[in-house]
Structure 1
Amino acid sequence: MVRAAAVGSSLPASGLDMFGDLRKMNKRQLYYQVLNFAMIVSSALMIWKGLIVLTGSESPIVVVLSGSMEPAFHRGDLLFLTNFQEDPIRAGEIVVFKVEGRDIPIVHRVIKVHEKDNGDIKFLTKGDNNEVDDRGLYKEGQNWLEKKDVVGRARGFLPYVGMVTIIMNDYPKFKYALLAVMGAYVLLKRES
């Protein structure tokens, strides 16, 4: 029993020991750590906002969450999007769109386009792996999508890179376990 207490005393007992490390720092070290963290967060946000401006899309990178677009895209593929308003929407193009009443955007192919003389465009989508078109997914009474519904158009992809996001969403305990392991690693790294 004494031996176990001696071994256990060198390891952090809880996440609260991290605050003890913070208390041991002088003000300059603490400011440095806070500024370092703020720089990382602000850099990530600037990169994301820069991508939004460059691509014209409110969400320049998305993960395919279902198998409705197989074999073109598989669940977990990471898509790169653009959404330049001057580019016309054409049949055969893969678009990401949002429908009123649904939080998650949908990735499907444009199968029909209706272009009016005044320039208004309406179009119909369908998943490559689905039997029917997407009219059942649109809001009630809506039979066609408009350009305002489009979040972006697929321009490239990385296969299966987004599986990490899917695993984190499908298995929240895995996410917390990963955070705990990363936290333990940081604490142990500091002690050595």
Structure 2
Amino acid sequence: MDTFNAIRGMNKREFASQTVSLLYVVASALVIWKMLSVVTDCESPIVVVLTGSMEPAFWRGDILFLYMGKEPFQVGDIVVYKQPGKEIPIVHRLTTLHVDNKGRVKMLTKGDNNHSNDRYGIYNQDIWWLEREHIIGRVKGYLPYVGMVTIIMNDYPMVKFAVIGILAIMTLTSKEQ
């Protein structure tokens, strides 16, 4: 309750200053994200592993750093791909490359911990091969288990709101201390 009284006790200028500081932090994070996107040539340069399909290479909660690059794809590359109509990107290994009669490279993927390739159960019904437009990036590095924070916040939305609320209150009342 003291926190709310401290916020109510702020004058308008002080409250505006704290709000602008919070907005600077958020804007800085967005700028850093966009810069990473440009440097790595990926729309999403950092992703979190959500399932155990790539164990033992990657575990649920690992953070992956992606890079696209111009070099051709090779069997064995670990890629992150996204399909039309599906929100969640998938992290799997390229198992087969095929060049069609028009010279386009087609790719087939499989999770290291899965029994069959992604054509059966993961790809959309009308997709038999992935193409370059489906690929978000190639895995170039990772941090183990750091992404568990993201998984916990997605699995338990109240935790996310509590963390955001606590951070906002701490930011707004930091001048009082």
TM norm structure 2? 0.88
**Contact 1:75 / 1:160 at 8 angstroms: preserved in 2?**
yes
Other-structure match for 1:20: 8
User: Are residue 47 (structure 1) and residue 47 (structure 2) matched?
Assistant: no
Structure 2 CA distance for aligned equivalents of residues 39 and 175 of structure 1: 21
Identical residues among aligned pairs (%): 48
Q: Which structure has the bigger radius of gyration?
A: 1
**Helix, strand or coil at the partner of 1:47:** helix
Q: Give the drift of 1:38.
A: 2.7
For residue 76 of structure 1, the aligned residue among 43, 54, 61 is 61
**Helix, strand or coil at the partner of 2:55:** coil
Q: Give the drift of 1:88.
A: 0.7
Deviates more, 1:160-169 or 1:170-179: 170-179
Deviates more, 1:40-49 or 1:73-82: 40-49
Question: 1:30/1:19 Cα in 2 relative to 1: closer, same or farther (>3 Å)?
Answer: closer
Name structure 1 gaps, 5 residues minimum. Answer: 1-10
Query: Which protein has greater RCO, CA pairs closer than 8 Å, 6+ apart?
Result: 2
- Which string of whole-angstrom CA distances, capped at 9 and with x for unpartnered residues, describes residues 31-66 of structure 1? 433332232222111111100000000000000000
**Contact 2:81 / 2:134 at 8 angstroms: preserved in 1?**
yes
- Which string of whole-angstrom CA distances, capped at 9 and with x for unpartnered residues, describes residues 161-186 of structure 1? 00000000111122233344445656
**Contact 1:100 / 1:138 at 8 angstroms: preserved in 2?**
no
Q: Give the drift of 1:30.
A: 4.0
Q: Give the drift of 1:191.
A: 5.0
Q: Give the drift of 1:140.
A: 1.3
Moved over 6 A (4+): none
User: Are residue 109 (structure 1) and residue 97 (structure 2) matched?
Assistant: no
1:162-173 matches, cutoff 5 A: 162-173=147-158
TM norm structure 1? 0.81
Name structure 2 gaps, 5 residues minimum. Answer: none
**Structure 1 vs Structure 2 CA RMSD:** 2.3
Question: 1:140/1:172 Cα in 2 relative to 1: closer, same or farther (>3 Å)?
Answer: same
